[in-house]
Amino acid sequence: MATERSLATLLRSLQIASEPQDAFALLPTSTSFLAMLTNHLNVTLLSSQLLSSPAIWDHRVDLHTCRRILSVFNTAAIGILQNEASDEPRAPYTKRGLEREAWVKAVINGADEKSPRWRHVLLLGGVLLGFEGQNRQGLSHSLRSKVERALVRATGLAIEENLNIDGVGGYAIIMVLNYTFELLSDYHRSQINYDRILPIMIQATYFSSEGLGSAYFLGAIDRDIVEGRVSKKFGWAATSATYQNVKEISSRPLIASLGPLSRLIAHAMENVTDPNIVSDGMSSINDFVRTLLVQWRQNKLSEVDPSEEAEFLDAESLKSTIPDLLRLLRSIMFSAVIILRAVLGRVLNDRVLAAGSVAPFIAVQSLHILRNLYFITSRTGQTSSSQYSFVNLVAIDILAQYPELAENFLRTIKPIELGQIPPHPLERCLDLFFLNTSEHFALILPPPANEELIIAAATPYLAAGGNNHLLEIFEAAHSVVLAVFSAPQNADITAKHLPFYVDNLFAVYPQNLSVRQFRLAFKSVVRIAAPPSPLSNTQPLLAATLLELAHERALTASSTLLPPSTQSSTENALETPPAPLSEKSGIILAMIDSFPCLLVEDLEEFLPLTARLIHTLPSGDEAAQSVRRTCIERFWEVLSNGEMDVERANFCVIWWSSRGGRELLLFGEDHQDGVMGQQQEEEVVMSGGLVDVVPRESKL
């Protein structure tokens, strides 16, 4: 009787509580009662009251409220399991609670017509999580299947009741599905109406007040970023309202589990039946990230280059507030990439999406999304991750099948002012994305587009390697220019711009260009100028001229060893650092790397010239000997490891064995002259002929 009286008091309190907090204070008691009641009718009654109590639901309801109710049923289910597993002795007069299956049925019966169907999803999700979450396996196979079927059916009916459900009811459904999706069987997952639920997922995650709120929080931060009176550095205080807002957004139920939610959205993208819904979803995500980019542009933090943060931002911001913001932005970026990977994976396997105009539209939208997120990916170093690379390269490959659309896309994302380096870090970041992306389209674009868009955008950055915060874009500019020069249709453009590029190449080396980069760039230029390149038809002497320029530069280049930072900009800390090199040895190695591209008549000239250059390197101490040894080993490697074709390799064998090449490379020109002179003094006779043993001087 005491239990019934206590239950009646609890139910009456749920009815008369005037404030939500008063009702929430009763939830722990409700959880205890659900786990200990012995009458199934009382369990059903209490469950029904929790889903319909005016004290809980007749006020502003958010997902935190919904999660509290879900937690009640989740915790009660766990309590049932713990009570059955408990070894503590019971008092003789104490009744055992309901059996597990009877309790589940009694709780589910509480999902009645007194409450809307979307609240039933909270009850069913809580029960499933309590018994099956964290691999508890608390339900029999048949009962678990019934609970799963009830959850999926309640979800479908809730959406059918209100097709445009986009308030807290729809968001609560998404939250429960996110929590329970891994527990559903493949069959029950297939029964979800993804066509109806996908738009709700995207709306809830990216645009709703329970999600990211269209990213407007990012622009609002600007008003709380102020300059310090003493340090004169900008700071974003942890006590500011905007920082507290960021923390609150990160703790929202949907955003706190944004990773699993993104995978759920990705799964829905893969399983919707209407391709238009996929296109609409991509457009919505693109709208969100475009707003995200605009809001970041309005934030003072976007005016600070990552390499200059310590100079312009205070220590508190760098240690606490800004890392929390970047953590949220990184989650947003990963969310978009996960969804894009699913969409593009479906495009590759779905004939409907791959046909017509849907595939290029999705590719363009994907690249726009990646561009708008590039201020995050470039800052966090995620551009080389496998998922990002897959999304980026697949979108590029799809769009490359439509050259006109590719050109139109590049024109929409080209730098605002071609031929100039913008002062704002965000604009330079977008320029970097443009250069990295356009490099993949250089082969399919017509020559005018390559010159007007790519060359014009890259030119101002070609000599910017000395600036630390322009180093990455400096490398991208060189890479994209070489890609344009390598395209067969761009022979005229190459002839026009190659002299300027080569002059610039020698001008920035070695101060702004590492040895590795210089070798790669010079070899690429020689390969572009040598046969069978179309440029060699109109400029047959260009490759030899480039080697001659390098030879002249090497004669006056410094032999002082370069610091490690200018030898390899992409050196991995776990790899063995390269041997120290000098400016002169870098040029010599670049010439050696170019041998496989030269004609045989050019090899006849530059093999001995390069060998002689090697012996102009100093050989005093051990470090200098190491440099010379590196050049000799690379020379021999090019001749012997298969880089040459048959004709060039045959000539190299002749030069090495019978023209004094071996002696010239290994011992220098003086030794070679002695050997050649000795060979010339020997009398040439027929094999087997008699030779006069009397010295020539003693003959009469």
Cα 459 from Cα 419, distance rounded (Å)? 6
Examine the domain organization and report whether 240 and 366 are in the same domain.
yes
Examine the domain organization and report whether 35 and 170 are in the same domain.
yes
Is residue 676 included in any domain, yes or no? Answer: no
Percent of the chain with pLDDT over 70: 90
Average pLDDT over residues 1-6: 68
Cα 430 from Cα 374, distance rounded (Å)? 7
Our count of domains for the chain comes to 4
Cα 567 from Cα 580, distance rounded (Å)? 8
Cα 173 from Cα 195, distance rounded (Å)? 15
Cα 464 from Cα 460, distance rounded (Å)? 8
pLDDT digits (tens, 9 = 90+) for 115-165: 999 999 999 999 999 999 988 888 999 999 999 999 999 999 998 876 556
pTM, to two decimals = 0.88
Is residue 23 included in any domain, yes or no? Answer: yes
Average pLDDT over residues 450-456: 94
Is residue 691 included in any domain, yes or no? Answer: no
Examine the domain organization and report whether 166 and 121 are in the same domain.
yes
Examine the domain organization and report whether 60 and 158 are in the same domain.
yes
Which neighbouring-strand residues pair with 561? 582
Total length of the chain: 700
What band does 55 get if pLDDT is binned at 50, 70 and 90?
confident
DSSP single-letter state for residue 664: H
Instruction: Give the ranges where 350-470 is alpha helix by DSSP (H).
Output: 351-354, 358-372, 374-380, 386-399, 403-413, 425-438, 447-449, 456-458
DSSP single-letter state for residue 306: G
Examine the domain organization and report whether 215 and 166 are in the same domain.
no
Q: Supply the range of the domain harboring residue 660.
A: 509-563+579-669
pLDDT digits (tens, 9 = 90+) for 197-256: 999 999 999 999 999 999 999 999 999 999 887 778 899 999 999 999 999 999 999 999
Cα 581 from Cα 594, distance rounded (Å)? 18
Percent of the chain with pLDDT over 90: 68
Q: Largest Cα–Cα distance in the chain?
A: 146
Examine the domain organization and report whether 486 and 616 are in the same domain.
no
Find, among 536, 456, 458, the residue nearest to 495 by Cα.
536
Per-residue confidence (pLDDT) for residue 86, from 0 to 100: 65
Per-residue confidence (pLDDT) for residue 699, from 0 to 100: 35
Q: Is the pLDDT of residue 572 over 60?
A: no
Per-residue confidence (pLDDT) for residue 693, from 0 to 100: 43
Q: Is the pLDDT of residue 582 over 90?
A: yes
Q: At what angle do helices 403-413 and 386-399 cross, to 10 degrees?
A: 120
Cα 353 from Cα 344, distance rounded (Å)? 10
pLDDT digits (tens, 9 = 90+) for 336-377: 999 999 999 999 988 888 877 889 999 999 999 999 999 999
Residue 117's identity, in one-letter code, is: R
Radius of gyration of the chain (CA): 36
Residue 638's identity, in one-letter code, is: V
Examine the domain organization and report whether 548 and 475 are in the same domain.
no
Examine the domain organization and report whether 383 and 431 are in the same domain.
no
Cα 220 from Cα 214, distance rounded (Å)? 12
* Distance (Å) of CA 626 to CA 146, 515, 591: 75, 16, 19
Buried/exposed 494-503: b ≥16 CB within 10 Å, e otherwise: bbebbeebbe
Per-residue confidence (pLDDT) for residue 694, from 0 to 100: 42
**Pairwise pLDDT comparison (314 vs 88), residue with the higher score:** 314
Per-residue confidence (pLDDT) for residue 448, from 0 to 100: 95
Examine the domain organization and report whether 338 and 435 are in the same domain.
no
Last residue of a domain, one of 383, 401, 419: 401
Q: Picking from 58-67, 204-213, 450-459, 562-571, which range would have the lowest pLDDT averaged per residue?
A: 562-571
Task: Provide the token pair at 307.
Answer: 């390499």
- 493 touches 452 (CB < 8 A): no
Q: Is the pLDDT of residue 13 over 90?
A: no
**Pairwise pLDDT comparison (578 vs 262), residue with the higher score:** 262
What band does 477 get if pLDDT is binned at 50, 70 and 90?
very high
Backbone angles phi, psi at 339, to 5 degrees: -70, -45
pLDDT digits (tens, 9 = 90+) for 396-426: 999 999 999 999 999 999 998 888 899 999 9
Angle, CA of 80, 81 and 87, to the nearest 5°? 105
- 201 touches 279 (CB < 8 A): no
Examine the domain organization and report whether 589 and 526 are in the same domain.
yes
Per-residue confidence (pLDDT) for residue 2, from 0 to 100: 62
Examine the domain organization and report whether 427 and 344 are in the same domain.
no
